[in-house]
Chain A
Amino acid sequence: MDRSAVILAVDDTPENLDVIKGLLATDYQVRVAPNGQIGLKIAKAQQPDIILLDIMMPGIDGYEVCRQLKADPETASIPVIFLTAKTDVADEAAGFELGACDYITKPVNPTLLKARVQTHLALKQNIDRLEDLSQQLAAAKGKMEDELNVGQRIQLSMLPTSPPAHDNFDIAATMRAARQVGGDLYDYFFITPRLFCVCIADISDKGVPASLFMAVTKTLLRANSTDDESTASIVTRINDALAEDNDAAMFATLFLAIIDIQSGEMTYTNAGHNKPFIRRQQGGVDIIPDLHGPVAGAMEGLAYGESHITLLHGDTLLLYTDGVSEAMDKDDNLYSEERIEALLASQNNASPQQMIEHIIASVDSFANDVEQSDDITLLAFKFNHHEEDASHQIQLRLVNQLNEIERLSNAFEQAAESVDMPMDVQLKTNLVFDELISNIVKYAFDDDAEHPIWVAIDLAPHRMTITIEDDGLPFNPFTRKDPDIQASIEEREIGGLGIHLVKEMMDQVDYKRQANKNKLILSKTW
């Protein structure tokens, strides 16, 4: 029995109060009030655990006392038991309607009174404890929400919000998390003055774990793309880093593209991500179908591939996460790729920002107040081609035959004219092509199959960069020892001369092994 529990009895008949006291005083602290007025005062001042209330009293009656108790927040939660001689069922109903918890008729049955009081006290104590707990929960929840809000701000600050202003493109992106923090990621940045990287990723989970994985992915993306122009190579490295010690077994779908903002040439790698769209300026919408490997972070040691596609003037690349395509209406229908595609097809001359706004509005109107269940992320990149820059960039795909050197040489000479390249630089460059391409054709491949050799030449008025790639055996020609140029005719060796010439003819030579390709990077100024 709870000796500290306080019972307040309100009755205008002193004998009744004596009876109650006599029954309850051994087990509880009993307070008494001779009328409603005093009863209300004591109730407010002493906060009893239970009030036993007579109905028929002069002045304010029991019903009115009960009404006032329930109306006052300080006393509203105190259980009220009516004690009355009235046995009318209608009266009982009136009492319960006012918020009384029980009804005991007089004359009072001692056992019944004790039992009822005990029951309602126990109930009251349970309710009080639950209220306490719920207050603690609310406080903890508030604290967690504060922290999540901070997390959300940090996460949003990791996403770029002010796109670079550039004549050659226009870009917009948005991420709307389903919870405070999300697992989607977009990013865009320059790798070199003419190579622009765009990326979208979707982490395999939502909420805090996904947001942490997202932060790691973003950091890896930036760290691995500073000196790398191959999306295959970047994704291969990100995958290895994510997969290493990935105890949580999380992963990311990822689409990464590097766009040459002068030519519109785009290199991309898709690691298990939704297939992006290109809204063509000429009309129509293309799907970018190639996948180059599974989701990133799931398995170490995979080599991802890459593909190339060209954006023409006015074309818009649209990247999105499945929060868009799989947004649901109340009947669990999906928004779907088809709706995105149809919407894109209807967008004439929309800017990237407008395009994204239209899609979000369309998704929201489709979902029609159904709660967003996944992060929604969109990135749109519109390419603006400037004709005058085009002649300064040459991209050729050769095959591994010696007569291809001639084709390269002709294409190069034509472009060299356009930047007034001095004749000796042209001759030296042709010499370099002869040495390097013939080396690759003769030595890079251990089969008789046809292999591509990619050559890119980036020409500026006083500078050029040449990139030559092949998928042959790993070999860095520049580590070869220079020949002894002091040797006499008899001692002079035949080999090694070509590479020596290349190194001398160019200002800078570099070799990289990336995504199973040999990559030679040469530069020269004049």
Chain B
Amino acid sequence: MKIKTIDMHDKQIICLDGKVDTNTAPEFDSALTRLIESGSQQIVADFEKLSFISSAGLRVLLAAAKKLKATQGELVVCAMNPTVAEVFAISGFSTILRVFDDRESALAG
């Protein structure tokens, strides 16, 4: 998996390429933690190139979302493929995180 972050000033975009599973989740976790600890409040997780996310990845997302929520920040996700969207639906994550169709609407939202 590859992780890239893009600084959009008021928002930070974190782009995931590949899969977030048991083995790659820690990497995703430290990238997100770095962003939050450096003061980011609004984070967009761009899943356009994410093939799938397992519960290990969901846990990372949940932990980050909880931290941001506590400081009135927010983590949103966008551009999910159908498999990731299904995981979000099954796990109930689509109701606890705002989900956008693409990066543009996520940045606008």
Contact = CB atoms under 8 A, between A and B. Distances in A.
Interface in B1-39: 19, 21-23
A424 interface: yes
Given A405-B21, A492-B96, A498-B54, 11 more contacts: A402-B22, A405-B23, A427-B52, A431-B52, A483-B92, A488-B96, A489-B62, A489-B69, A489-B96, A494-B59, A494-B62
Interface in A388-443: 402-403, 405-406, 424, 427-428, 430-431, 434-435, 437-438
B54 A489 contact: no
A428 B91 CA distance: 14
Nearest to A403: B23
A29 B23 CA distance: 114
Contacts of B53: 431
A431 B69 contact: no
| Chief secondary structure at chain B's binding surface | helix
Interface string B56-70: 101100110110010
A40 B58 CA distance: 116
B51 interface: yes
Interface of A: 402-403, 405-406, 424, 427-428, 430-431, 434-435, 437-438, 483-490, 492, 494, 497-498, 500-501, 504-505
Interface in B57-97: 58-59, 62-63, 65-66, 69, 82-83, 86-87, 90-92, 95-96
| Most chain A C-beta atoms within 10 Å of own C-beta, residue among B51, B54, B87 | B54
B86 to A, nearest CB: 8
B82 A500 contact: no
Nearest to B96: A489
B91 to A, nearest CB: 6
A428 B83 contact: yes
Contacts of B96: 487-489, 492
Nearest to B91: A497
Contacts of B62: 489, 492, 494
Contacts of B65: 489
B55 interface: yes
Contacts of A487: 92, 96
B19 A489 contact: no
Contacts of A431: 21, 52-54, 83, 87
B59 A489 contact: no
16 contacts: A405-B22, A424-B86, A431-B21, A431-B54, A431-B83, A438-B56, A483-B91, A490-B69, A492-B92, A492-B96, A494-B62, A497-B59, A498-B54, A501-B90, A501-B91, A505-B90
A140 B25 CA distance: 83
Contacts of A483: 91-92
B92 A486 contact: yes
Q: How large is the interface on B (under 10, 10 to 19, 20 to 34, 35 or more residues)?
A: 20 to 34
B10 to A, nearest CB: 22
A493 to B, nearest CB: 9
Contacts of A489: 62, 65-66, 69, 96
A434 B83 contact: no
A504 B54 contact: no
A485 B92 contact: yes
A434 B22 contact: yes
Central interface residue in B19, B21, B55, B56, by most chain A CB within 10 Å:
B55
Nearest to A428: B83
B62 to A, nearest CB: 6
A451 to B, nearest CB: 17
A435 B23 contact: no
Contacts of B82: 424
A490 to B, nearest CB: 7
Contact of A485 (B21, B51, B91): B91
A478 to B, nearest CB: 15
A501 B54 CA distance: 8
Contacts of B83: 424, 427-428, 431
Given A489-B62, A490-B66, A434 B51 contact: no
Most central of A406, A428, A434 by chain B CB within 10 Å: A434
A90 B82 CA distance: 121
A402 B22 CA distance: 7
Contacts of B52: 427-428, 430-431
A427 B54 CA distance: 10
Interface centre among A406, A427, A430 (most CB of B within 10 A): A427
Nearest to B54: A434
B20 to A, nearest CB: 9
B58 A486 contact: no
A430 B19 contact: yes
Nearest to A493: B62
A434 B55 CA distance: 9
B98 to A, nearest CB: 11
B56 A434 contact: yes
Nearest to A430: B52
Contacts of A484: 92
